[in-house]
Amino acid sequence: MKKIIIENLITLFYALIVALFIRSFLFQPFYIPSSSMEPNLLVGDRLFVSKYSYGYSRHSMPFSPKIFKNRILENTPVVGDVIVFKTPADNRTDYIKRLVGVPGDHIQIINGDLYINNIKVIKTKIKSLFNVTCGDKIIDVDFYEETLPNGKKHISVYKKEGSMLQTDLYVVPENHYFFMGDNRDCSRDSRYLDSVGYVNFNNLVGKAKIIFFSNDKKIGTLYQFWNWNKSIRGSRFLKKIN
């Protein structure tokens, strides 16, 4: 009996080591808790983030141990990537946003349009007066397909009324990045210098790759199996994140 217990403990130990290796160096699961990336990411989406996409920093590891100062095996992020990062405010909280500006870029919203290095980002209206969530509220928005300067396209939404029209000019510092949520008027992101602001390269955790599971908690939790036919969003399973 003692031998069986020891063997099981050894097996469990190796399983934990393998899981820790996968989580730290390959893929880590994340849960979407807010509506800041709607309609592309919904509250209740669960996704995999690749930890190797931009190399590794201390924030690649659980609890962000101070084992090395800078990134190793680093790769440069691409504008348009959806990225998980640690917020500069506490270097602990995970945020997920879209990369809009790289070091040296000039970012500004003028008359409701996004400008990157004095070039207006092309946006084409897709839908009007379509509802998305903002916390506990439902807001009326216009859907747009935006084309970033490098040609990458994504869907973003702006409030039909009361959308942010003007911002200061943001100049992205060296070794930092500028992020925005796709739900533009319901996102605390780099536009808010007091809480998020410019994000250091070392704070990047990884690139969002694919949704592996999704459940609408407004209808029912995972424990409420009698609501699975309504709460589980099967159409979002294995959906690639653009």
Look-up: residue for tokens 């790769």?
A: 75
Other CB atoms within 10 Å distance of the CB of residue 141: 26
Residue 36 annotated among the catalytic residues of the structure: yes
Please, which residues have CB within 8 angstroms of residue 88's CB and are 6 or more apart in sequence?
Answer: 196, 197, 198, 199, 200, 203
Catalytic residue among 35, 36, 190, 231: 36
134: part of which helix (H) or strand (E)? strand 122-134
Distance (Å, whole) CA 115 – CA 113 = 6
Of 37, 66, 80, 52, nearest in space to 204 by CA: 52
183 token code pair? 């739900």
Distance (Å, whole) CA 110 – CA 107 = 10
Coil, strand or helix: which one is 64? coil
How does 122-139 read in b/e, with b if 16+ C-beta sit within 10 Å? ebeeeeeeeebbbeeeeb
Q: How many degrees, rounded to 5, is the angle at CA 184 between CA 172 and CA 167?
A: 50
Catalytic residue among 34, 51, 57, 97: 97
Residue 207 annotated among the catalytic residues of the structure: no
Catalytic positions: 36, 97
